[in-house]
């Protein structure tokens, strides 16, 4: 099983995180929480905007059933707190004094205007690390721009490389610009925490979603710098002969026949096609197919698809995947969510986690450990919190009494 | 100025190509001493992958390799030679982390599997980034970022619904999901080791992080039985939301109207007051229902305009909009990346000055700078053997003569 038991030590035990992030930073808090940090989700009294993102469990549109929210906030405790209100700000400062890391995604300057900027947090809690994830960073000509996931993909340059060349570029599934900002935000936060443990001082971490997306450009910046060429998108078409997406009986497969630098696995693919009786496959043994320049040509792409295309249509994606891999050909199915749920390797690894969803009284099957640490296993500690679920518990720790808590709730502070 | 966070941490790094090299680069750029074990007999294929300086191929000329291997030292060791394996053990004994992204079983063949290593270095943090995990029916399958993008479901969800799945056009899992997850896991393991003195084994499958990023699509299937399809640039509840043509060849702008206020301001910015007056379009639901028509109307407006001028106009009106920038725009024109100092130019012994990415975040106290460009193949062999391992020159020369250091 992928999950440790309650008795296993956790890698991030003893680290407390205040997670005030919106959708752009939602996955960052999950990374900390499932590794054992005590992550407290700080939501406005009306709830995080992520709660309203479709789809919903059972298609019931209510705040405890948003799938993205439920998935991104596992292992976290949750409180409500109005950070635009003076008493809310005072409570947040008090909570900070118990924490090591604060994650936030407000526009630059918003936290400071609330009296919750880095300088103000550090004055009270010198070792605090404040990680601010924003579309373009804290300062600069675009710092105040409005952004969404799609704008981040566009401005960071990845969108230009995605989709078919004859139509508008198309985005990646699953809000990848937000995901990249969250992932780099988590790495940066961990670096700052490790540094703070040694120096005793925290710092402000300024993460730009645009820059995070730029990290995904592969070699496009280097192509421009070294060769003066601008990489374009090639969509589903072959980027090189033998590398691309092909239709099969029940969907699509992706084949990378040569492998990186294009020759290592080529012979395996050719033998497979010859053994399988693919008409014309013998010509792929010609030495010119080990010349990368030739593989880039339209002629080579046309010959390869004329041979592999009809061959692929005879089989299912599973048949092509297993037989190709048995022969050491880099080929994979273009998986749907159903293929992933049924993937035998993931099942063998016990990858999927079961997490109880109270409103529907059912266990949800969701992706589990993205890494397996032998001593400190990844583990979902609890389902995502209901709105304000841990108010009494956490404010209680701060010494706020029940009567006062009720008053704060009435006045819209929590 | 603060010390770098990972000063004093040493990594013996067997990783190569994409995901592994990028992971250890994250560690190297923040102060870890990353010693890349390479061999000309089993070359890191990124060294022979374009682009090359002056378009001339060569093991020390790839910009792709260079950007993934900053701040590291390179030692060439023939791992098939028993003395080579001995050297690797000596380096690991002086390291905190060992990293590789081989097919399972490769390190074991060198006598350097986790069980072997922990015998002489019990507190090692051992990162093994295979494609699909250490064990299981598909654990020996071969793949790269592009095939992993397909296998994990990302490609199926990316592209126009009327076309074959386009994917990201890149080896995306290699560039961000896997390096960030692996980097985070190693940093968490370092934290645990500092507290308890204990190392551990990290079994990392290069498929699982990307699947984790697609959690909502997976849960939509397991809970609701729905197979999410790719949807171009549509948003599930907002419209218009898409990529629209502008003046110029292959010039586009992304525009996202997330709520009614932004819709009114878009109409105002473009001088089309009748759009915000239309009752059918006054709500997100109404706009979404009519989104194809809105897309056509909006495209007719954007096609008359320069993408950058239009972006500034819409941003002044508070509408999320961004130019679909290409590599030339990003390197030569983007004032925000310039402001942040994103592009670094480092002097490399064979490539001369060329471009590198800075890490995508800034610290208020810790300086973020790459300590050196990518190493030449074997550039630091003598330095590491003589310095770190304290080997006399004659012994290094003898090893070289025996063919151990190729």
Q: Look at residue A61 and tell me if it is in a domain.
A: yes
Chain A / chain B CB contacts < 8 angstroms: 535
Same domain, B53 and B178: yes
Same domain, B29 and B142: yes
Same domain, B195 and B308: no
Q: State whether the Cα torsion B82-B87-B92-B97 is positive or negative.
A: negative
Q: Which domain holds residue B316?
A: 241-331
Q: In A, which residues are within 8 Å of B213 by CB distance?
A: 27, 174, 176, 179
Last residue of a domain, one of B313, B331, B349: B331
Locate the chain B residue with the closest alpha carbon to A149: B256
Inter-helix orientation angle A26-34/A176-199, to 10° = 50
Whole-angstrom Cα distance, residue A246 to residue A253? 5
Distance from CA of A281 to the nearest CA of B (A): 22
Paired strand residues for A101: A17, A129
Active site residue B174: yes
Same domain, B252 and B385: no
Please give the model's pTM, rounded to 2 decimal places: 0.97
Same domain, B62 and B124: yes
Whole-angstrom Cα distance, residue B406 to residue B404? 6
The token pair that represents A226 in the structure block: 């070294």
Q: Look at residue B233 and tell me if it is in a domain.
A: no
Q: In A, which residues are within 8 Å of B150 by CB distance?
A: 245, 252-254, 332-335
**Do A215 and B175 lie within an 8 Å CB cutoff?**
yes
For the stretch B108-163, pLDDT in tens is 999 999 999 999 999 999 999 999 999 999 999 999 899 999 999 999 999 999 99
Q: Look at residue A3 and tell me if it is in a domain.
A: no
Q: What is the β-pairing status of strands B97-100 and B72-76? A: unpaired
How many angstroms separate the first and last alpha carbons of chain A? 39
Distance from CA of B91 to the nearest CA of A (A): 23
Choose from A254, A268, A355 for mutation: most chain B CBs within 10 A.
A254
Asked if A228 has any chain B CB less than 8 Å from its own CB, the reply is no
Look at residue A235 in the predicted model and tell me its pLDDT.
86
Same domain, A405 and A257: no
- Residue A112 phi/psi, 5-degree rounding, is -65, -40
**Do A170 and B213 lie within an 8 Å CB cutoff?**
no
Q: Look at residue A237 and tell me if it is in a domain.
A: no
How many angstroms separate the first and last alpha carbons of chain B? 39
Q: Look at residue B16 and tell me if it is in a domain.
A: yes
Same domain, B294 and B385: no
Whole-angstrom Cα distance, residue B288 to residue B254? 17
Look at residue A306 in the predicted model and tell me its pLDDT.
96
Q: Look at residue B42 and tell me if it is in a domain.
A: yes
Last residue of a domain, one of B312, B331, B350: B331
Locate the chain A residue with the closest alpha carbon to B214: A174
Tens of each residue's pLDDT in chain A, 414 residues? 345 566 789 999 999 999 999 999 999 999 999 999 999 999 999 999 999 999 999 999 999 999 999 999 999 999 999 999 999 999 999 999 999 999 999 999 999 999 999 999 999 999 999 999 999 999 999 999 999 999 999 999 999 999 999 999 999 999 999 999 999 999 999 999 999 999 999 999 999 999 999 999 999 999 999 999 999 998 888 888 999 999 999 999 999 987 765 577 899 999 999 999 999 999 999 999 988 889 999 999 999 999 999 999 999 999 999 999 999 999 999 999 999 999 999 999 999 999 999 999 999 999 999 999 999 999 999 999 999 999 999 999 999 999 999 999 999 998
Same domain, A25 and A142: yes
Lowest mean pLDDT among A235-239, B135-139, B192-196, B281-285: A235-239
Asked if B346 has any chain A CB less than 8 Å from its own CB, the reply is no
**Do A328 and B198 lie within an 8 Å CB cutoff?**
no
Which of B190, B340, B357 lies closest to A194 in CB terms? B190
Q: What is the β-pairing status of strands A101-104 and B10-13? A: unpaired
Q: Look at residue A55 and tell me if it is in a domain.
A: yes
Same domain, B276 and B319: yes
**Do B220 and A206 lie within an 8 Å CB cutoff?**
no
- Residue B224 phi/psi, 5-degree rounding, is -110, -5
For the stretch B51-103, pLDDT in tens is 999 999 999 999 999 999 999 999 999 999 999 999 999 999 999 999 999 99
Same domain, A151 and A73: yes
Q: Which CATH number fits the domain that encloses residue A316? A: 3.30.1540.10
Paired strand residues for A253: A246, A333
**Do B336 and A57 lie within an 8 Å CB cutoff?**
no
Choose from A172, A259, A368 for mutation: most chain B CBs within 10 A.
A172
The H helix count followed by the E strand count for chain B is 19, 12
Same domain, B19 and B91: yes
Same domain, B372 and B293: no
Q: Which CATH number fits the domain that encloses residue B348? A: 3.40.50.10540
Q: Look at residue B358 and tell me if it is in a domain.
A: yes
Looking at the structure of chain A, the number of domains it has is 2
Residues 258 through 317 of chain A touching chain B, CB cutoff 8 Å: 259-261, 264-265
**Do A367 and B200 lie within an 8 Å CB cutoff?**
no
Distance from CA of A169 to the nearest CA of B (A): 7
DSSP A83: T
Place of tokens 């730029």: A214
Look at residue A20 in the predicted model and tell me its pLDDT.
98
**Do B328 and A224 lie within an 8 Å CB cutoff?**
yes
Q: Which domain holds residue A208?
A: 16-216+349-410
Last residue of a domain, one of A341, A359, A387: A341
Asked if B394 has any chain A CB less than 8 Å from its own CB, the reply is no
Asked if A65 has any chain B CB less than 8 Å from its own CB, the reply is no
Distance from CA of B102 to the nearest CA of A (A): 14
**Catalytic-role residue among B13, B29, B33, B174:** B174
CB contact set of B224 (below 8 Å; sequence gap of 6+):
A55, A57, A58, A59
Q: Look at residue B230 and tell me if it is in a domain.
A: no
For the stretch B230-280, pLDDT in tens is 999 999 999 999 999 999 999 999 999 999 999 999 999 999 999 999 999
Last residue of a domain, one of A341, A365, A383: A341
Same domain, A257 and A367: no
Q: Look at residue B222 and tell me if it is in a domain.
A: no
Asked if B268 has any chain A CB less than 8 Å from its own CB, the reply is no
Distance from CA of B230 to the nearest CA of A (A): 7
Q: Look at residue A4 and tell me if it is in a domain.
A: no
Same domain, A360 and A251: no
Strand, helix or coil at A243? Answer: strand
- Residue A203 phi/psi, 5-degree rounding, is -160, 175
Q: Look at residue A270 and tell me if it is in a domain.
A: yes
Same domain, A45 and A70: yes
Look at residue B3 in the predicted model and tell me its pLDDT.
85
Same domain, B16 and B126: yes
A219 in Cβ contact with A272 (< 8 Å):
no
Last residue of a domain, one of A287, A306, A341: A341
Whole-angstrom Cα distance, residue A238 to residue A164? 11
Looking at the structure of chain B, the number of domains it has is 2
Q: Look at residue B245 and tell me if it is in a domain.
A: yes
Q: Look at residue A9 and tell me if it is in a domain.
A: no
Same domain, B74 and B184: yes
Distance from CA of A291 to the nearest CA of B (A): 13
A364 in Cβ contact with A352 (< 8 Å):
no
Same domain, A146 and A276: no
Alpha helices in A125-261 (DSSP H): 149-155, 176-199, 209-214, 220-222
Q: Which CATH number fits the domain that encloses residue B245? A: 3.30.1540.10
Whole-angstrom Cα distance, residue A251 to residue A243? 17
Closest Cα partner for A242 from A261, A228, A227?
Answer: A261
CA distances in angstroms from B191 to A118, A188, B114, B196, listed in the order given? 24, 14, 20, 9
Distance from CA of A382 to the nearest CA of B (A): 17
**Do B340 and A208 lie within an 8 Å CB cutoff?**
yes
Same domain, B374 and B264: no
Residues 105 through 134 of chain B touching chain A, CB cutoff 8 Å: 132-133
Which of A9, A334, A341 lies closest to B221 in CB terms? A341
Residues 196 through 225 of chain A touching chain B, CB cutoff 8 Å: 197-199, 201, 203-208, 210-212, 214-225
Closest Cα partner for A327 from A279, A255, A261?
Answer: A255
Residues 45 through 84 of chain B touching chain A, CB cutoff 8 Å: 45-46, 48-55, 63-64, 66-67
Closest Cα partner for B370 from B27, B121, B17?
Answer: B27
Whole-angstrom Cα distance, residue B34 to residue B45? 19
Burial tier of A368 (Cβ tally within 10 Å: 0-12, 13-18, 19+) = buried
Same domain, A110 and A168: yes
The token pair that represents B115 in the structure block: 């069980």
CA distances in angstroms from B276 to A203, B213, B217, B268, B302, listed in the order given? 45, 36, 34, 8, 17
Same domain, A312 and A384: no
Q: In A, which residues are within 8 Å of B220 by CB distance?
A: 55, 67, 337
Whole-angstrom Cα distance, residue B287 to residue B169? 31
Q: Which strand (E) or helix (H) includes residue A124?
A: helix A118-124
Last residue of a domain, one of B272, B304, B331: B331
Which of B51, B205, B334 lies closest to A222 in CB terms? B51
Q: Which CATH number fits the domain that encloses residue A144? A: 3.40.50.10540
Same domain, A36 and A167: yes
Q: Look at residue A383 and tell me if it is in a domain.
A: yes
Whole-angstrom Cα distance, residue B180 to residue A351? 19
Same domain, A120 and A144: yes
CB contact set of A334 (below 8 Å; sequence gap of 6+):
A245, A251, A252, A253, A254, A317, B150, B155, B156, B165
Same domain, A192 and A281: no
Locate the chain B residue with the closest alpha carbon to A119: B364
- Cα A106 from chain centroid? 19
Q: Look at residue B147 and tell me if it is in a domain.
A: yes
């Amino acid at each position: 099983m992928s999950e440790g038991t309650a008795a296993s030590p956790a890698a991030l035990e003893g680290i407390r995180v205040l997670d005030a992030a919106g959708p752009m930073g939602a996955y960052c808090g999950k990374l900390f929480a499932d590794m054992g940090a005590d992550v407290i989700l700080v939501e406005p009294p009306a709830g995080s905007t992520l709660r309203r993102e479709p789809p919903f469990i059972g298609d019931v549109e209510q705040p405890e059933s948003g799938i993205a929210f439920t998935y991104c906030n596992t292992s976290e405790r949750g409180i409500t707190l109005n950070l635009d209100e003076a008493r809310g700000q005072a409570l947040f400062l008090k909570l900070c004094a118990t924490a090591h890391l604060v994650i936030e995604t407000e526009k630059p300057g918003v936290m400071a205007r609330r009296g919750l900027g880095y300088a103000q947090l550090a004055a009270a809690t010198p070792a605090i690390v404040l990680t601010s994830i924003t579309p373009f960073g804290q300062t600069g000509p675009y710092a105040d721009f409005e952004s969404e996931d799609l704008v981040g993909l566009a401005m960071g340059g990845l969108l230009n490389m995605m989709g078919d060349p004859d139509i508008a570029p198309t985005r990646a599934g699953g809000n990848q610009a937000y995901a990249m900002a969250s992932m780099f935000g988590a790495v940066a936060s961990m670096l700052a925490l490790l540094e703070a443990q040694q120096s005793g001082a925290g710092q402000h971490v300024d993460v730009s979603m645009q820059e995070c997306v730029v990290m995904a450009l592969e070699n496009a910046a280097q192509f421009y710098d070294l060769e003066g060429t601008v990489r374009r998108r090639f969509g589903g078409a072959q980027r090189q002969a033998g590398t691309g997406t092909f239709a099969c009986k029940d969907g699509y497969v992706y084949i990378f026949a040569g492998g990186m630098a294009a020759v290592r696995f080529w012979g395996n693919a050719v033998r497979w096609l010859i053994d399988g009786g693919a008409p014309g496959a013998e010509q792929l043994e010609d030495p010119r197919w080990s010349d990368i320049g030739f593989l880039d040509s339209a002629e080579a792409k046309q010959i390869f698809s004329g041979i592999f295309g009809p061959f692929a249509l005879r089989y299912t994606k599973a048949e092509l995947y297993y037989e190709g891999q048995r022969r050491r050909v880099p080929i994979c199915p273009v998986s749907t969510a159903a293929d992933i749920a049924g993937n035998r390797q993931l099942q063998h690894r016990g990858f999927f986690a079961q997490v109880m969803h109270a409103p529907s009284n059912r266990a949800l099957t969701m992706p589990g450990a993205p890494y397996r640490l032998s001593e400190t296993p990844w583990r979902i500690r609890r389902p995502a919190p209901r709105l304000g679920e841990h108010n009494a518990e956490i404010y209680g720790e701060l010494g706020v009494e029940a009567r006062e808590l009720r008053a704060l709730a009435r006045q819209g502070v929590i | 100025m603060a010390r770098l966070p990972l000063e004093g941490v040493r990594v013996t790094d067997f990783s190569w190509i994409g995901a592994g090299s990028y992971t250890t680069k994250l560690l190297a750029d923040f102060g870890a001493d990353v010693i890349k074990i390479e061999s000309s007999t089993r070359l890191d294929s990124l060294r022979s992958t374009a682009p090359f300086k002056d378009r001339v191929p060569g093991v020390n000329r790839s910009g792709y390799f260079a950007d993934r291997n900053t701040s590291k030292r390179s030692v060439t060791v023939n791992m098939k030679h028993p003395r080579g394996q001995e050297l690797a053990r000596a380096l690991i004994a002086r390291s905190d982390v060992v990293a590789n992204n081989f097919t399972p079983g490769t390190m074991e063949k060198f006598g350097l599997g986790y069980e072997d290593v922990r015998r002489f270095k019990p507190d090692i943090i051992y990162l093994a980034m295979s494609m699909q995990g250490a064990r299981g029916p598909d654990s020996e399958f071969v793949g790269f970022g592009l095939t992993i993008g397909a296998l994990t479901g990302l490609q199926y969800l990316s592209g126009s619904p009327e076309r074959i799945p386009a994917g990201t056009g890149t080896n995306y899992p290699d560039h961000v999901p896997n390096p960030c997850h692996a980097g985070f896991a190693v940093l968490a393991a370092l934290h645990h080791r500092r507290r308890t003195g204990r190392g551990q084994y990290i079994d990392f499958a290069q498929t699982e992080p990307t699947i984790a990023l697609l959690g909502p699509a997976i849960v939509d299937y397991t809970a609701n039985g729905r197979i999410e399809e790719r949807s171009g640039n549509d948003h599930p509840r907002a419209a218009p939301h898409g990529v629209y043509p502008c003046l110029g060849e292959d010039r586009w702008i992304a525009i996202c109207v997330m709520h009614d206020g932004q819709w009114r301001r878009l109409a105002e910015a473009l001088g089309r007051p009748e759009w915000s007056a239309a009752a059918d379009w006054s709500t997100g639901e109404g706009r979404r229902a009519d989104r194809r028509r809105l897309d056509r109307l909006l495209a007719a407006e954007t096609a008359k305009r320069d993408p950058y001028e239009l972006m500034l106009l819409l941003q002044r009106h508070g509408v999320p909009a961004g130019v679909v920038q290409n590599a030339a725009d990003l390197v030569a024109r983007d004032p925000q990346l310039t402001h942040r100092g994103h592009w670094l130019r480092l002097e490399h012994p064979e490539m001369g000055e060329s471009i590198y990415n800075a890490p995508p975040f800034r610290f208020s106290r810790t300086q973020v700078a790459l300590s050196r460009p990518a190493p030449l193949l074997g550039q630091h062999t003598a330095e590491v053997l003589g310095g770190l391992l304290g080997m006399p020159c004659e012994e290094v020369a003898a090893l070289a003569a025996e063919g151990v250091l190729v």
